[in-house]
Amino acid sequence: MPLHVTDFTWTQTESTVHIKVPLKGAKAGSVDIVSTEEYLKLHFPPFLFEAFLFEPVDDDRSTAKVGNGVAVFTLPKKTAKMWEHLMMTTGIRERALLKQQEKLSAESKQKAEKRQAERKYALETMMKLETEEKERIQKMKDAEREQMTAELAAWQMKRKQEAEKAQKNQNHQIQPRGSTDTAEHRLMEVQKNKDGESFPAYHPLSCFIKSIQTRLPPPRPRGNIPVTFTPRVFPTALRESLVSEEEEWLKKQAEARRAVNAEPEELQDLTEEERNPDWLKQKGDKCFTNGDYVGAVKAYSLGIRLNGSIPALYSNRAACHLKLRNLHKAIEDSSKALDLLTPAVPANAAARVRASVRRGTAFCQLELYAEGLQDYEAALKIDPHNTGLQEDAQMIRSIIQGSGSPSSQ
């Protein structure tokens, strides 16, 4: 509960009241002051000074000075007269507090109205600036449009004048020099001597053009010129040193194609074993071991027809194509096997190494050593400790760098 200050002093004149309140050791920054026309409060914990003034004062001109351990209030009176007492205690507190609340509410409302007016002014200013900017841009567009229209009209007029001038120059060049009557007469005579017709005197240009047309030879008859080319299987230029190798390669290609494309017996006529892709794979492996590469290709191809999702059938058929020098087919089958061997897991690592090596070998035999080296390096990533793969890869690098020879591959 606050302690009320009673040891204050006050003096007055007919126009002003002076009140002096001791602060009792309180700091100036900790003093809370509330002042209205009829109420004055000074609070510096734990002390409290309240005064319900005897008469109303001018709160707007009132002043308070805090310092040197004392607070001094100067309160101008609204009515110039001497007060009988400083304070009144009957019903003034509620009235003073109500006036204070009304004052604070009015100030708050005034601030809100001021902020609203400022926002409204800012919005109106922004809208005005945007409208002016739009008008400026529209004026620029209109000016550019008018300029372009004027330039287009001037260009069209210039073209028209140039065309008229060119037409006049052309007419002047066609018109023969000398008397017009003589030129027309000469043209009419020339035409009349040739086809027995004459043109009116007011069409000399038509006479001249027709006379020229009659002297032109007739167009040549239309015809077709046959062009034949020597058939060439290989895209490279014909070189005598490779003719025998290319013919041998084509022969082996044809043999392998006939073996692969040979239609097997109808599926309903196959035995139970021949319907099993695993049995066909084992049969192909046995044919490959015995050197029957064509038979192995046929067995693997039939297995692929029955089940085209077994990577080993494609990889083993690629090995047969390598033996038959059917290199492009070997690349196709190796690529298909690598596609089926995904995702890469430890269980299919060995199969991926075989397919990569077979495709790399086919590339190298086609003299595409850069592509072959990529496949060998892919195989080495799977099996980095394989000394045979390391030696083959180093040999391919030597060939690419020019320090080795293709014959050593």
Three-state DSSP at 23 gives coil
Same domain, 43 and 102: no
User: Domain ends where: 67, 90, 113?
Assistant: 90
Half-sphere exposure of 211 (CA within 13 A, CB side): 20
> What pLDDT shows up at residue 269?
60
> What pLDDT shows up at residue 245?
67
Residue 127 banded pLDDT, cuts 50, 70, 90:
very high
Higher local confidence (pLDDT), 214 or 272 = 272
**Cβ(340)–Cβ(311) below 8 Å:** yes
> What pLDDT shows up at residue 238?
57
**Cβ(62)–Cβ(71) below 8 Å:** no
The overall average pLDDT reported for the chain is: 80
Where b means 16+ CB within 10 Å and e means fewer, 248-272 reads ebeebbebbeebbeeeeeeeeeeee
pLDDT at 216 over 70: no
pLDDT at 229 over 80: no
Q: What is the DSSP letter of 337?
A: H
Interval 126-144 mean pLDDT = 92
Same domain, 57 and 98: no
Interval 135-160 mean pLDDT = 92
* Top-ranked range on mean pLDDT: pick from 32-41, 153-162, 204-213: 153-162
Interval 132-155 mean pLDDT = 92
User: Domain ends where: 109, 143, 177?
Assistant: 143
Say how far apart CA 77 and CA 44 lie, in whole Å. 26
Counting residues of the chain whose pLDDT is more than 90, the rounded percentage is 35
Q: Is residue 157 part of a domain?
A: no
pLDDT per residue over 365-377, tens digit each? 998 999 999 999 9
Residue closest to 71 by CA, chosen among 43, 37, 38: 43
pLDDT per residue over 170-209, tens digit each? 776 655 544 444 544 554 454 444 445 444 444 455 555 5
- Integer-rounded Cα Rg, in Å, for the chain is 57
Q: DSSP string spanning 231-289?
A: --SSSSPP-GGGHHHHHHHHHHHHHHHHHHHS----GGGS-TTTT-HHHHHHHHHHHHH
Higher local confidence (pLDDT), 218 or 179 = 218
Interval 284-294 mean pLDDT = 92
Same domain, 130 and 84: no
Q: Is residue 375 part of a domain?
A: yes
Q: What is the pTM of this model?
A: 0.37
Same domain, 390 and 281: yes
Higher local confidence (pLDDT), 192 or 128 = 128
Residue 391 banded pLDDT, cuts 50, 70, 90:
very high
Phi/psi for 37 (5° steps) reads: -65, -30
CATH of the domain at 317: 1.25.40.10
Q: How many domains does the chain have?
A: 3
Q: Is residue 247 part of a domain?
A: no
Cα-based angle 19, 97, 5 (whole degrees, multiple of 5) = 35
> What pLDDT shows up at residue 193?
47
Say how far apart CA 302 and CA 288 lie, in whole Å. 15
Higher local confidence (pLDDT), 117 or 192 = 117
Cα-based angle 317, 364, 260 (whole degrees, multiple of 5) = 25
pLDDT at 218 over 70: yes
Burial status of residue 54 (CB atoms within 10 A of its CB: 0-12, 13-18, 19 or more): middle
Say how far apart CA 199 and CA 184 lie, in whole Å. 9
Same domain, 110 and 14: no
Same domain, 102 and 122: yes
State the distance between the two ends of the chain, measured CA to CA, in whole angstroms.
108
Question: What is the residue type of 90?
Answer: T
Q: Which domain holds residue 15?
A: 3-90
Q: Is residue 332 part of a domain?
A: yes
> What pLDDT shows up at residue 101?
83
CATH of the domain at 42: 2.60.40.790
Interval 138-152 mean pLDDT = 92
Please report, to the nearest 10 degrees, the dihedral formed by the alpha carbons of residues 174, 177, 182, 185 taken in order.
-20
Residue 364 banded pLDDT, cuts 50, 70, 90:
very high
* Top-ranked range on mean pLDDT: pick from 277-281, 283-287, 341-345: 283-287
Q: Is residue 49 part of a domain?
A: yes
Same domain, 82 and 108: no
Residue 7 banded pLDDT, cuts 50, 70, 90:
confident
Higher local confidence (pLDDT), 184 or 33 = 33
Q: Is residue 338 part of a domain?
A: yes
pLDDT at 227 over 70: yes
pLDDT at 136 over 70: yes
> What pLDDT shows up at residue 382?
92
Same domain, 136 and 18: no
User: Domain ends where: 26, 57, 90?
Assistant: 90
Interval 123-129 mean pLDDT = 92
> What pLDDT shows up at residue 100?
78
Residue 404 banded pLDDT, cuts 50, 70, 90:
low
> Which residues have C-beta within 8 Å of that of residue 85, sequence separation ≥ 6?
54
User: What DSSP element (H or E) covers 330?
Assistant: helix 327-340
Q: Is residue 232 part of a domain?
A: no
Same domain, 302 and 334: yes
Three-state DSSP at 216 gives coil
> What pLDDT shows up at residue 181?
47
CA 73 to each of CA 3, 161, 284, 391: distance values in angstroms, whole numbers, following the listed order = 20, 98, 118, 107
Same domain, 31 and 62: yes
Same domain, 285 and 393: yes
How do strand 9-12 and strand 16-22 relate by DSSP bridges?
antiparallel
Q: Is residue 196 part of a domain?
A: no
> What pLDDT shows up at residue 141?
92
pLDDT per residue over 60-92, tens digit each? 898 988 888 888 999 998 888 888 888 876 555
Phi/psi for 57 (5° steps) reads: -120, 165
> What pLDDT shows up at residue 171?
73
Same domain, 136 and 34: no
Interval 264-290 mean pLDDT = 78
